[in-house]
Structure 1
């Protein structure tokens, strides 16, 4: 799933390639991808792109006509840039292509989504705040005013585990499954620790890990072409997706806890005092 650093890099890439160009055609291939009907999709045709912005994990492409094309790539979605869009219109079907945008230069991009669970979403709105997911976003963790005191205020009444709290977009915008693992590893904190139980020192450590992990990921992704961002993300991860490998900090074996639709990775020596966290799915298999 693209998270804050990858969406920030896509924002920079699209700012360079879209600003000043006109959208000639915006064609939905998967009907389910379009979540709005007013203004219609045709309102984007002929619109000059004036800005590209990021809201959490949402991409916002603004046109001079005051109409915005907003997308959320969800778990399996991606943006593929094309220097030359095929002249023939795509054929609707069961493939990954969800939406195609063609510019006046002949270039453009496709939005695709792999897998059977179709969650990629596209909105055409006059105000990004009309998108429900944007309207309920929490603060951006890389904003200038996001200091340790603000993080402490957000977490003080949170009775959830810190892993879940970090992933809640209404609490903090932009952090997903992968970077929450990375942040907690950098903070030397168990993903199962209750968010409200953090001491001032732990909150400060978490804040530093949150900011540094995301900032470093954004810097690694800066200037990387859209097609290479997935590989860049994976190469920079220390624990997420690396079950069974050696922790790059202490050398212990990275462990995993599995859930119904996701998993988390952590280092026991760095984060849990050497103790393995309970994996309920594994426990059921062992009974």
Structure 2
């Protein structure tokens, strides 16, 4: 699932090219992906992209409706096309208007958009490579109308989110990996970056929050900021097609089961769960202990 660093780079890339653009095409061949629509999605065509932004792990297109749509009794205020990529979703970006028939022949897509901006044409295709299609689209009048956005915790890179606020999350017995991934506590970190943060901070993914002393919490906070900020810097300016490979290449333990830890040389291990897994280094993180397979009820 895309996480904060690559989504931040993605929104910067899209906003630079699409801010001020007219939405000239919008095709949704499957009703499954469209979860909420305050207005018919076709009414967005002709609208102007005010901005492209990020809300946690959601992508948000802010769209000013066209004058014709407003005259026809449609919305006069901005509308938002919100995308949750889920586990296997992403997008394809091109420097030309999409050809619906050729893209459809090339495989499944959830939505296809065409844009025109000051003489330049662009195309965006929302794709989902998963066996079970989880990518979701919402058309709403305010981002908070999307339930997942309304419940988001603070952004970990927000300048107003400091050590005091972070420390208050570590007062109970929930596992620390679960805290880092909990979108209601902090918005934007998923399975991959929680693995990377915990490895660099030299903390076990199954340690409980209440077991950490203040020095460990501060180390975890500093590490989290450094890793996320560093990834954002590294990814900014890359094309959407380059972001997933760049993320994979930057991982030190996540997705590297059986490989050597780049810090100590020990073998990176994996713990599997229902539908997911985590990776860690025994020497760096668990004092050499090999973690057992966890049950589906464990919070990791």
* Alignment of 1:114 onto 2:126: no
Query: Which of 86, 90, 93 is equivalent to 1:81?
Result: 93
Report how far residue 166 of structure 1 moved.
1.1
Indicate which of 249, 253, 262 corresponds to 2:263.
249
**TM-score, L = length of structure 1:** 0.93
Question: Which one of 205, 212, 216 corresponds to residue 202 of structure 1?
Answer: 216
Any unmatched runs of 5+ in structure 1? 282-287
Q: Map 1:212-227; keep pairs closer than 5 Å.
A: 212-227=226-241
* Partner residue of 1:261 out of 257, 272, 275: 275
Match of 1:44 in 2: 44
Q: Given that residues 98 and 114 in structure 2 are in contact (C-alpha distance below 8 angstroms), is that contact kept between their aligned partners in structure 1? A: no
Q: TM-score normalised to the size of structure 2?
A: 0.89
1:285 corresponds to: none
1:154 partner SS = coil
Q: Shift of residue 223 of structure 1?
A: 0.4
Q: Which is worse superposed, 100-109 or 237-246?
A: 100-109
Measured in 2, the distance between the counterparts of 1:152 and 1:87 equals 51
Cα distance change of structure 1 residues 280 and 194 upon mapping to structure 2, 3 Å threshold: closer
Work out the CA distance in 2 between the residues paired with 1:115 and 1:99.
Answer: 15
Deviation for aligned residue 1:53: 1.1
> Which secondary structure state, in structure 2, belongs to the residue aligned with residue 124 of structure 1?
strand
CA distance in 2, matches of 1:213, 1:91: 36
Q: Name the counterpart of 1:10.
A: 10
| Displacement of 1:37 | 2.3
Gaps of 5+ in 2: 66-77, 296-300
How many residues are matched?
Answer: 280
What is the DSSP-based 3-state SS (H/G/I as helix, E as strand, rest coil) of the residue aligned with 1:123? Answer: strand
- State the distance in 2 between where 1:112 and 1:76 align: 8
